[in-house]
Amino acid sequence: MLAALLSLWLCLFPRLTSAGKVDARVDERIELVSIVARLAGLREYRMESSASAYSRRVEEHFGAHRDHPAVRRLAALHSESGVSYDALPSLALHLGPLPDLVERVSFEAAPERLDARWNGAAARPFLVDLRDFARATGAAEFFASERAFYSEVSRRLSERLSESRALPWFDDYFGARPGASCVAIAGLLCGGMNYGVGVRFADGRAEEFAPVFGCWEWDERGFPKFGASYLPLFAHELCHSYTNRLVDAFERELAAPAARIHASCADAMKRQGYATPKIVMYETLVRACVVRCRLATEGKSAAKEQAQAELEAHFAWVPELANLLSEYEADRERFPDLRAFLPRIVERLTAIAERLPEAARAPQVVALVPANAATDVDPMLTLLHITFDRPMRDQSWSLVGAKSDLPEITGALSYDESRKVLTVPIRLQPGRTYSFSLNGERHKGFVSAEGVALEPLPVRFSTRAR
C-alpha cells in the first residue's frame, strides 16, 4: 500500500525536465476545497472574474449541497479563525487523493507548511465533513467527467509557464533544493488570487512546490486564458516556497518593523488577503526578490515594471528593499545564501518602518465631470475631468473596462500642475451608456504621490439622444 501511494505521489509531482518544461495540472483536491469555499460564500472563491462555463457546471452539480456540514463548518471556521485564501489550497495539498483524503503528513504535530489557521489536528473534524461531502456529492464522478477539460487547461498553463526564464535563477539565488519537485496548479475557481503553497515533510522526503494560479480571463470556448502576466506570477508564487521559511526564522527580529509597516496600510493589505504583519513580511520579501529575478532574467525594463506594480499594490517600501538585495548579489562570499543576508534586510525594514506614517490613506475621487451616474450628459462633451483629494503620480492611470463600454479617447491624458485633476480627451455618442472603472482588480495605475493606489471606483453615465 505504501509503495502504491509513493508511486502515485511521484506521478502527481514530477520534477522539472532538463529542458525546463514546467509540469502543470488541475488538482482535484484543490477543486474540491474551492467548491466547498464557494458554497460557503468565501468571496475570494466567488470573484466575478471566476465566472465561466466551468463554474456554471460546478454550480449545477454541487449547488444543491450548500447546507452540507462541510460547507457550514467552513463558514464557521472562516468567521471564527479566518480560514480563507491560501489556507484552503494549503490544506488540500496535505491530503491524499479522493475519496480517502488521508493526511499525507500527520496533523498531530502541525505540518511545517500547513497554514497555521488550521491549527494542525484541529482541522480533523473538517476533514471528516470534507470526505463525506466528496462522497455525498459524487465529486469523483464530476471530476472524471471534466478530465478532458482539465487536460487541455493543464496543457495551456504548462505551455505558458515553460516560457519562463526564471527557473535556473532560483537555485542560484536561494540555494539548490536537491530532489525538490514542482507542479503548477490551475485554480479554476480562484479568480484573480494566486497562492504559493507546497508541502515540506518531517521525515526528509523532498519538498513539493505547488503554486496555484487563479483563472480570471476566459476564451469563447470556456478555457482560461493564460497571458504573459503569468510569467512574473510564476516567479512570485514559487518564491514563497523559498522565502517564507526565512521570515519564519527571523520572526522575532521582524516583529516590530512588521507591525509598523502593516499598520501604515492595514486596510489596503486586508483587502488583498494580507491580514497580519507576518503575512505582509512574507509578501514583502517575495516581491523584492521577484524584482531582482526579473532584472536578472529579463533586464532593467522588466524590473522597473515590476517595481511599479509593487507600488501600485501598496507595497511602497519594496523597491527600496529590492535595491538593497544588490548587496547580497555582489558579495556571495560573505553572504553564501539569502538567510545570511537576513540581518541586513531586518535592519533596512526597521529603518523603513520608522519613516512610515501611522496610516497611509488611499486617495479619493472628489469630483467627476460628467458626474457619476449622470443620465443626461451632453454628447458634445469632449473632456472628462477626474479630481482627486491629493497629488497623484504622473503618467500613471487605469481606465478599466470593455473597449465598447469606454468613451473613445481622442488624445493624451494629462494632470494639471497640482497633479490633482486629470483631463481625458473623449468623444461621446448620443443615446449611449458608458461604464468603466478607475483602477480595477488587477490594474491599479491611479496611485497617489506617496505610492498608495486608488481603490477601484465604478463609473457609469449616459448621454442624451440628439
- Residue 1 CA to residue 4 CA, distance in Å, equals 5
**For residue 190, how far is the Cα from the chain centroid?**
9
193 with 283: CB under 8 angstroms? no
419: amino acid identity, one letter: R
3-class DSSP assignment, residue 329: helix
- Residue 434 CA to residue 373 CA, distance in Å, equals 10
3-class DSSP assignment, residue 338: helix
Q: Which residue has the cell 553572504?
A: 335
391 with 418: CB under 8 angstroms? yes
For the beta carbon of residue 458, count every other beta carbon within 10 angstroms: 13
| C-alpha pair distances (Å), 278 with each of 283, 310, 323 | 9, 18, 22
108: amino acid identity, one letter: E
* H or E element that contains 301: helix 300-312
List beta partners, residue 459.
Answer: 436
Regarding the domain delimited by 365-462, which CATH topology (the fold level of the hierarchy) does it fall under? Immunoglobulin-like (2.60.40)
Summarize the confidence of residues 62-86 as an average pLDDT.
94
* H or E element that contains 182: strand 181-182
Summarize the confidence of residues 111-127 as an average pLDDT.
92
Q: How confident is the model at residue 298 (pLDDT cuts 50, 70, 90)?
A: very high
289 burial (CB, 10 Å; 0-12 / 13-18 / 19+) is buried
Q: How confident is the model at residue 2 (pLDDT cuts 50, 70, 90)?
A: very low
**For residue 319, how far is the Cα from the chain centroid?**
19
441 with 456: CB under 8 angstroms? yes
Q: What is the pLDDT of residues 227-282, one digit of tens each?
A: 999 999 999 988 988 898 899 999 999 998 998 898 888 878 888 888 889 999 99
Q: What is the pLDDT of residues 320-334, one digit of tens each?
A: 999 999 999 999 999
Cα atoms in the Cβ-side hemisphere of radius 13 Å centred on 23: 16
- Residue 454 CA to residue 366 CA, distance in Å, equals 12
Is 293 a residue whose pLDDT tops 50? yes
- Residue 113 CA to residue 120 CA, distance in Å, equals 10
pLDDT at residue 309, rounded to an integer? 92
What angle (nearest 5°) sits at the alpha carbon of residue 287, between those of residues 227 and 12? 60
Q: Which of 377, 358, 382, 350 is nearest to 435 (CA)?
A: 377
64: amino acid identity, one letter: A
Q: What is the pLDDT of residues 401-456, one digit of tens each?
A: 888 899 999 999 999 999 999 999 999 999 999 999 999 877 889 998 877 788 88
329 burial (CB, 10 Å; 0-12 / 13-18 / 19+) is middle
| C-alpha pair distances (Å), 155 with each of 46, 133, 151, 335, 465 | 25, 29, 6, 39, 49
- Residue 227 CA to residue 266 CA, distance in Å, equals 30
From-to residues of CATH 2.60.40.1220 in the chain = 365-462
3-class DSSP assignment, residue 273: coil
pLDDT at residue 455, rounded to an integer? 84
| C-alpha pair distances (Å), 291 with each of 73, 136, 295, 305, 399 | 40, 46, 6, 9, 25
Give the three cell numbers for residue 425.
Answer: 480627451
- Residue 455 CA to residue 389 CA, distance in Å, equals 13
Is 53 a residue whose pLDDT tops 50? yes
- Residue 369 CA to residue 377 CA, distance in Å, equals 10
249: amino acid identity, one letter: A
pLDDT at residue 56, rounded to an integer? 98
Summarize the confidence of residues 339-347 as an average pLDDT.
96
Is 314 a residue whose pLDDT tops 80? yes
For the chain, the distance separating the N- and C-terminal CA atoms, rounded to the nearest angstrom, is: 77
- Residue 317 CA to residue 352 CA, distance in Å, equals 7
pLDDT at residue 13, rounded to an integer? 35
Is 6 a residue whose pLDDT tops 70? no
Summarize the confidence of residues 204-221 as an average pLDDT.
92
Summarize the confidence of residues 362-376 as an average pLDDT.
90
368: amino acid identity, one letter: L
- When the pLDDT of each residue in the chain is averaged and rounded to a whole number, the result is 90
Is 178 a residue whose pLDDT tops 90? no
Summarize the confidence of residues 172-189 as an average pLDDT.
86
- Residue 337 CA to residue 329 CA, distance in Å, equals 10
Tell me if the pTM is above 0.95: no
Is 20 a residue whose pLDDT tops 70? no
